[in-house]
Each structure stands twice: as C-alpha cells, then as structure tokens.
Amino acid sequence: MTARILDGKAISARIREEIAADVAEFVRLHQVTPCLAAVLVGEDPASEVYVRNKQRACEKAGIQSHLHRLPADTSEAQLLDRVRALNQDPQVHGILVQLPLPPQIQETKILDAVNPLKDVDAFHAENVGLVVQGRARFLPCTPHGVMQILHRSEIPVAGKHVVIVGRSEIVGKPLANMLVQRDSHLGPQAVNGTVTICHSRTADLPTVTREADILVAAIGQARLITADMIKPGAVMIDVGINRTEDGLVGDIDFAGVADVAAAITPVPGGVGPLTVTMLLRNTLTAAAAQQG
Ligand code: NDP
C-alpha cells in the first residue's frame, strides 16, 4: 500500500476540541447552552445508532441534546406538529429530523417545515439555495466534512478536477455546489474545483473517474470503485457506508485502490466522524445567530 491514509477520526477529534472550546466561550458570554433537538420516528436500527452518536458527541462538546421519539405509525400531521412546536421553543437552537422517515410521511414536507434558522442539517430549500449562491447560513454536514478532510490534509481543491459519483441531495449535489464556489470560509484553495457529477445513468463511468484528481464516492454500493477506474496519484474520498459480511466497507475498493492512489479515506474512520462534528458546529452557529 502506498497511499497516505486521511485519518478522519483524528481530524474530527481536533475539530471537536475546537468546537468544545467555542461552546464553552459561548456559554460564558451568554449564559445560554446551545441545544439540539433530534426527532426520531420509528425504530430503524441504523438511525438509532446515528442519533445516539450525535447525542454523545453533543454531550462531549457541551451542547445539550433532547431526543424526541415518535412511533413508526406517526402521521405526517403529527410530525409536523412536533416540528412546529420545536420551531417555537426558544430553548431549542437546532432541529434534526433523522432520515429516513416512514413511507406515510413525505420527507420534503417535513424538512421544509423546519425553521430555516434552526435547520442544522441544511436540508431546507432556503438553506440549500444559500449554499448554491455561496452565502451559506449552515453548510451541509457530510459535504462540509469532506471539505475539512481535504483542507486539514493540505490537499487543495482549486484547479483540480473533482469527480463526484452520486447526486443525492445530502451528499453529491451540495458538495458539488460547494466545491465550485469562488471562495469559502476555508479560503479559495479549498474550493474552485472543476466539478463533474456522475450517477447511475452516466455512460462509461470508468472513463470519467479516471479523469479525477480528486474522486468522491457517495454511491452506497460496496467497493464499486476499483483500482482500474482511477488515475494513479489521485486523492480518494470515500463517503459510502455499506454493511457487508466483512463489516462496514466503503464505496471504494480500499485494498486495491490504496496501491494506486496518493491518498484515501478509510471506512470506517474517514468521512463518517466528520459528519457528526459538522453538525455540532452548525448547532453552535444556530445558537449564536439566535442569540443575536
Ligand atoms: P443515495 O442513494 O441518495 O444516492 C446514491 C447515488 O449514487 C445516486 O445519485 C445514484 O444514482 C448513484 N449511483 C448508484 N449506483 C450507481 C452506479 N452503479 N454508478 C454510478 N452511480 C451510482 O445515497 P446517499 O448520497 O444518501 O449516500 C451514499 C452513500 O454514502 C451511502 O453508502 C450512505 O450510507 C453514505 N453516507 C455516509 C455519510 C457519512 O457520514 N459518511 C452520510 C450520508 C451518506 P441515481 O441518482 O441515478 O440513482
């Protein structure tokens, strides 16, 4: 293996220390503790784990978190009522509705009902629009985590061909919108990429992925990206989390690709920890904005 391992866990730990210090300073100045309300509908085991991780991370950073559990047969109207109550609650600074929601509930209806000032996932249409225009209120957590890994590993994006495989609203699309900006809170080197987005209808995926200086895989298919699909010396960011018989694996064939790439994020321990970290940052940002 020749590739440098981009240790998301270590990067995440450093950022969480910074956030915890900022939270402590915020509490000292305002006598208010940032508070995140997490809404979990049903008993999806993966969602349970994600919500638990988010709550634990909040606690360690000095952020309060409240879990609102609703049964799997909750109606759309009932969930809307809960979201509206949290919108009105001055003690709650950030609201997170854990996805996926049960089939009787339309996700966009719920996400659009969250007060945009408390929308720490940045899923509300208003916040998506602000990201596209390069004046984000909150940066979406997983794409922001990808930016932080690159930035803190001193891998510039400016001028690079970034190929993103996956066009979801949560990862692929917002990341593309962020990396094509002219400037960012991390400076112009962290953005200004030449971005290509691929998806399941892309003709001849390997030809496109071989063009990438930086390849981001956000697909949800175990080890789909193999060594023959990449340019030697490329940087590989693996967002995928796939449960297999071998445990958790990414969308990139780590063992094969690590001999060809210059750098690669592992799964687990790559992008995953950063997602929760950036949620903590957004919760503090929300609390600060609501404090005036
Ligand atoms: P989605 O299922 O919403 O999107 C997957 C995307 O991959 C779609 O755009 C789809 O194309 C594309 N795709 C699927 N198969 C292929 C293929 N054979 N060739 C090219 N493109 C393909 O997934 P998410 O974006 O929500 O998640 C992607 C992965 O990232 C998952 O493994 C998920 O668990 C993980 N994830 C990890 C996070 C973290 O914190 N590390 C956070 C969020 C997600 P099309 O649009 O045409 O269907």
**CATH code for the domain of 154:** 3.40.50.720
- In angstroms, what is the span from residue 112 Cα to ligand 1's centroid? 22
Q: Is the pLDDT of residue 140 over 90?
A: yes
- Same domain, yes or no, for 154 and 199? yes
Lowest mean pLDDT among 43-47, 59-63, 173-177, 209-213: 43-47
Question: Would you say residue 41 lies in a domain?
Answer: yes
Tokens 């909040």, residue located: 58
- Same domain, yes or no, for 100 and 156? no
Give me the catalytic one of 64, 98, 148, 181.
Answer: 98
Measured between alpha carbons, how far is 92 from 111 in angstroms, rounded to an integer?
16
Give the tens place of pLDDT for each residue, 118-131. Answer: 999 999 999 999 99
Measured between alpha carbons, how far is 249 from 238 in angstroms, rounded to an integer?
10
Q: Is 109 a catalytic residue?
A: no
Question: Would you say residue 178 lies in a domain?
Answer: yes
| CB-based contact 92:35 (threshold 8 Å) | yes
Give the tens place of pLDDT for each residue, 82-108. Answer: 999 999 999 999 999 999 999 999 999
Q: Is 121 a catalytic residue?
A: yes
Supply the CATH number for residue 106's domain. 3.40.50.10860
pLDDT of the residue at 39: 98
Question: Would you say residue 284 lies in a domain?
Answer: no
Per-residue 3-state assignment (H helix, E strand, C coil) for 136-204: CCCCCHHHHHHHHHHHHCCCCCCCCEEEEECCCCCCHHHHHHHHCCCCCCCCHHHCCCEEEEECCCCCC
SS3 45: helix
Q: Is 54 a catalytic residue?
A: yes
Q: How many residues does the chain have?
A: 292
Determine the average pLDDT of the residues in 265-274. 97
Residues in Cβ contact with 62 at an 8 Å cutoff, skipping those fewer than 6 apart:
20, 23, 24, 27, 33, 34
- Same domain, yes or no, for 206 and 245? yes
- Same domain, yes or no, for 147 and 262? yes
- Same domain, yes or no, for 213 and 258? yes
Q: Is the pLDDT of residue 237 over 80?
A: yes
- Measured from the CA of 275, which atom of ligand 1 is nearest? 40
Segments forming the whole domain that contains residue 254: 141-272
Question: Would you say residue 123 lies in a domain?
Answer: no
- Same domain, yes or no, for 62 and 154? no
- Same domain, yes or no, for 204 and 154? yes
CB-ligand 1 contact for 171 (6 Å cutoff): yes
pTM of the model: 0.98
Give the tens place of pLDDT for each residue, 53-91. Answer: 999 999 999 999 999 999 999 999 999 999 999 999 999
Q: How many C-beta atoms surround the C-beta of residue 232 within 10 A? A: 11
| CB-based contact 244:105 (threshold 8 Å) | no
Question: Would you say residue 134 lies in a domain?
Answer: no
Q: Is the pLDDT of residue 1 over 80?
A: no
Question: Would you say residue 232 lies in a domain?
Answer: yes
pLDDT of the residue at 292: 73
- Same domain, yes or no, for 67 and 178? no
The number of domains in the chain is 2
Question: Would you say residue 8 lies in a domain?
Answer: no
pLDDT of the residue at 176: 98
Confidence of residue 22 (pLDDT cuts 50, 70, 90): very high
In the predicted model, what is the mean pLDDT of the chain? 97
- Same domain, yes or no, for 68 and 169? no
Task: Quickly list H helices, the chain.
Answer: 8-30, 45-61, 76-88, 107-111, 125-132, 141-152, 172-179, 205-209, 254-257, 271-291
Measured between alpha carbons, how far is 205 from 21 in angstroms, rounded to an integer?
44
- Same domain, yes or no, for 145 and 202? yes
- Same domain, yes or no, for 182 and 227? yes
CB-ligand 1 contact for 11 (6 Å cutoff): no
CB-ligand 1 contact for 208 (6 Å cutoff): no
CB-ligand 1 contact for 102 (6 Å cutoff): no
- Same domain, yes or no, for 71 and 146? no
Question: Would you say residue 4 lies in a domain?
Answer: no
